[in-house]
Chains A and B, each alone.
Chain A
Amino acid sequence: MFRQPRTGTRTLIAAVLTATALTLSACGADADDSGDGSTLRLWHYEGANSAMGIAWAEAIKQFEASHPGVTVVYEEKGFEQIRQNAGMILNSDQGPDILEYNKGNATAGLLSKQGLLTDLSDVVAERGWDEMISPSVATTCRYDANGVMGGDTWYGIPNYGEFVMVYYNKDMFAEYDLSVPTAFAEFEGVLDTFVDNGVTPISVGGAEYPAQQILYELALTQADRSFVDDFQLYANPVDFHGPEFSYAATTFAEWVDKGYIGADSAGIKAEDMGVAFTQGNFPIMISGSWWYGRMSDEITDFEWGTFLFPGSDLHPGSGGNIWVVPSNAKNKDLAYDFIDITMQPDIQNLLGESGGVPLAADPAAITNPKAKELIENFNTLNDSDGLAFYPDWPAPGYYDVLVAGVQQLINGSKSPDEVLDEIAKPYNDNLASIGE
């Protein structure tokens, strides 16, 4: 005997009605603004509490004040989403008028090569931005027809810079009577002292970018500007078994052997590296200025400071992320006005005060002593053309290659020579494909 439940039909009707209602709701009018000059669509992915976030929020306010009748439609984006989909987004009509984007061949360079970014050269000359940006920093703003940085066409404008330095725990240094090293041998001496006292000195994030930046720093101690030009700008072929990289790989392996770098750091993420330092588990962390604000906020248990990596005039670093204007942007003039505002002294100084590294701020105007120290270090670097960019820039996907290679150095599963061969191949393959 089977019953004929009405519930079946009623449920069905309910389900269909619900689905229709939901679908119609999803179809809802998507108000898309056109290029009528009344809105500026702006995207960036810096947190609201970061130096850039604070400075840019202020810039938005100033923009709206100076442009009555124009609203800034700001969307905070996830970095992963932008990094992954920028090509797709900018190739459609759903993109913004101006966005923050990563500098480098694999990112901005690629987009410029694909014709998705507006050529800013004329605007730059008109508004004098090139005078505010040093040659080192300008390298990452200008790309050539192959999407390689250092070209002659301007595609982006940064507001800030970044560089890699050594963070150190002053209390732990004092405990062992150590002072800030100014030469490489002295630095190794400091590291030895820690190891002798049972402390692993360097907090390392082997699963992500930090470890490869240490490798690069070591290479830079043996390098000069032409090496950087060869490696990053493809000026000449790079010998991965030459003095710079051989030294770097061998020394890195030595540092692992001597115990400066923990043998288990291959699995540590950058976040964990930072947290370990803030918890006082390691006296030293070699990483970038992007940690500075967070260190200032979160370290309350001990005194800390920074110094430039001893033994070199070149350091990983560059101009910061750049403002780019998509080719499909509908309100380009408004975008240019906004960039202009961000380069003005008051915004730049605000950036500095908040713990960022501005390009065009006046150190004298900065009141926060720690921020002042940071900015002065950067200016030293910048003025002496010491920014050597980052090791993963030269080829798309090179980041993963380097992470894998350095992990093998840490784990001791491959010799320095083998690792060098391994990281040479993708670099050379990419070089070959760029020429075409």
Chain B
Amino acid sequence: MVAATTARRGRPGRLTASTVLIGLTVLTLLVLAPFLVVALNAVKAPAEYAANGPLSLPGELYLRGIVDFWFRVDFGEKLWNSFLISATVAVGAVVISVLNAYAIGIGRMRGRLAFLMFFLLANLLPQEALVYPLYYLSKQVGLYNSRIAVIIIFTAIQAAFGTYLLSSVFRDFPRQLLEAAAMDGAGKWRVLWKVVVPTSWPTLSVLFTFFFIWTWNEFFLPLIFLISNDKQTVPVALGVLQGDRMMDATTTSASALLGIVPAVLFFLIFQRTLTRGVLAGAVK
């Protein structure tokens, strides 16, 4: 590759590469340390925790905590609810963001700053400000204690970020592609779906991943709006263990592990599509 050969000119070589690698590995391990602590305690028996504290190595692998918790909160159901809500929000928010950003970033309509602020408002509001009004509104339409309400709310909130990011990126969208398509007789709608979307696929993938993960980890609004146990999501279920005065540390870790694994898995899976998407849909 051209870049590699030109890069070789005047580079120190192996020594720098190893230093960089080591530095990065140390940093990453430090960043990941808390996960290890969680994993450690998730498979530790409560008696061992009581005797040796949270940072000791478990003597034996104790999986009862994880299994018990799974059945106690019907974790399978919670996983499904979380997945349902996060995936729907991710799709919906990406779609709305694309539509909005198309008009603002590529359409360059007048007053786009005002529109941008309007959409971004969703992300600017502290969630506490929204709670009581949304509660009353959802009660009016009979959507209190429903997953749909949560989906609608988060689609709006995530789409705000998406609109903002995409409109910034779309501003730099290569005009030639758009003009070429227009000259081929494509209307705005077709240009959007045939040109803009495929070209910006890497960014859209990133957005989708963000939205999924952010929605997955939301706990404040779901705590308010999802009352029935069969509708609750994973983070809300984790809250079950926060007792009035006691906290069951090993079970909390077990539940935390169960909460992290799906999100991490999803992120890792999406990583690959992200990279593949980049290679396949290059700008040029």
Contact = CB atoms under 8 A, between A and B. Distances in A.
Instruction: Check whether chain A touches chain B (CB < 8 angstroms).
Output: yes
Interface of A: 2, 4-5, 7-9, 12, 15-16, 18-19, 22-23, 25-27, 30, 45, 47-48, 75-81, 83-85, 88-89, 92, 94-95, 102, 209, 269-271, 274-275, 278-279, 288, 290-291, 294, 298-301, 321
A60 B130 CA distance: 38
A343 to B, nearest CB: 22
Interface in B116-157: 135, 139, 144-148, 151
A79 B193 contact: no
B197 A8 contact: yes
B177 A19 contact: no
Nearest to A41: B228
Given A19-B91, A19-B92, A94-B145, A298 B223 contact: no
Interface in B84-98: 84-85, 87-88, 91-92, 94-95
12 contacts: A2-B199, A8-B197, A15-B95, A30-B231, A76-B73, A79-B243, A80-B223, A81-B227, A94-B228, A102-B244, A270-B245, A271-B246
B51 interface: yes
B148 A45 contact: no
Contact of A92 (B46, B50, B53, B144): B144
Contacts of A270: 245-247
Contacts of B46: 298
B72 interface: yes
Interface string B190-201: 000111011100
A83 B231 CA distance: 19
A395 B282 CA distance: 62
A22 B281 CA distance: 28
A95 B239 CA distance: 19
B187 to A, nearest CB: 15
B91 A15 contact: yes
Contact of B88 (A19, A92, A299): A19
A23 B46 CA distance: 40
A376 B76 CA distance: 44
B52 interface: yes
A79 B242 contact: yes
B193 A290 contact: no
Contacts of A80: 223, 239, 242
A47 B243 contact: yes
A275 B236 contact: no
- 6 smallest beta-carbon distances between A and B, as pairs: A8-B198, A78-B239, A78-B240, A94-B145, A26-B147, A19-B91
Interface string B227-257: 1110100001101111111111100000000
Contacts of A88: 135, 224
B130 to A, nearest CB: 13
Interface string B31-67: 0000000000000001101111100000000000000
Contacts of B88: 19, 22-23, 26
Contacts of A30: 145-146, 228, 231
B269 interface: no
A88 B133 CA distance: 11
B246 A294 contact: yes
A183 B242 CA distance: 37
A291 B223 CA distance: 27
B84 A25 contact: yes
Contacts of B147: 26
A278 B148 contact: no
B180 interface: yes
Contacts of A275: 49-50, 53, 249
A44 to B, nearest CB: 11
Contact of A279 (B51, B145, B229, B240): B51
Chain B residues touching A, majority SS: helix
Chain A residues touching B, majority SS: helix
A88 B139 CA distance: 10
Given A15-B95, A94-B228, A2 B177 contact: yes
Contacts of A2: 177, 180-181, 195, 199
A333 to B, nearest CB: 23
Residue in B85, B236, B242 with the greatest tally of chain A CB atoms within 10 Å: B242
Given A23-B88, A45-B240, A78-B236, 12 more contacts: A2-B195, A9-B194, A23-B148, A26-B85, A47-B248, A76-B72, A88-B224, A94-B145, A94-B228, A270-B246, A290-B246, A294-B246
Contacts of B227: 81, 85, 89, 94-95
A27 B143 CA distance: 10
Contact of B245 (A23, A84, A288): A288
A225 B223 CA distance: 40
Contacts of B245: 209, 270, 288, 290
Nearest to B184: A4
Given A27-B148, A78-B240, A270-B246, A300 B194 contact: no
A85 B194 contact: no
Contacts of A22: 84, 87-88, 91
Contacts of B244: 45, 79, 83, 102, 290, 321
A77 B240 contact: yes
Given A278-B51, A279-B53, A23 B151 contact: yes
Contacts of A301: 51
Residue in B50, B147, B199, B229 with the greatest tally of chain A CB atoms within 10 Å: B50
B40 to A, nearest CB: 15
B242 A279 contact: no
A373 B217 CA distance: 45
Nearest to A12: B193
Contact of B139 (A16, A92, A279, A321): A92
Interface in B69-106: 72-73, 84-85, 87-88, 91-92, 94-95
